[in-house]
Amino acid sequence: MELKIRKNEDIYIVDVNGEMDLYNSYKLKELVMKMLEKKVSKFIINMENVEYIDSSGIGALIYISSTIKKLNLKLLITNVRGSVKKVIELTKLMGYFPITQSINEAIKTMKE
């Protein structure tokens, strides 16, 4: 799994590439926690290039979502599709996660 960060004004977009599985999902958690230490307050996690997710990956997203929610900061998860969407649907957490269809929609929502 590869993680890349880009910026749109004060919004930080984390592009996740590859597989979010039991061996590497912790990396996304660690990255977001470091960004929180650096006072980042608006996050978009872009799942467009995630080919595989398992319960550890879902667990990482739960941890990140609940942490950011508790801190009253902003998070949107975007481009959830294919087998990643299916796995989240199986856990019935589609309504729990703050999901948008596209990055543009996420940026627009963040700026509202």
Partner 1 sequence: MSEQIKTIIINDNHPLMNREGMFYKDFPSDYRQIRYFTLLIVQKAPPKIKEINLLEQQISEMIKNAVKHGNKCDTGKKIKVWYFFSQEEAKIIVEDEGPGFSAIKQWNKFNKERQACLMANDFEGLADYVAYTTDESDENDGGNALFAAVEYWNEGVIFTSKANCVAMGKKFERKNNSLELD
Contact footprint for partner 1 (CB under 8 A): 21-23, 25-26, 29, 51-60, 62, 66, 69, 83, 86-87, 90-93, 95-96
Minimum distance from CB of 7 to partner 1 (Å)?
28
Min. distance of Cβ 23 from partner 1 in angstroms? 8
Is the CA virtual torsion 52, 64, 99, 79 positive or negative?
A: negative
Hey, is 1 helix, strand or coil?
Answer: coil
Dihedrals phi, psi of 96, to nearest 5 degrees? -80, -40
Name beta bridge partners: 54.
none
Decide whether 39 or 92 has the Cβ nearer to partner 1: 92
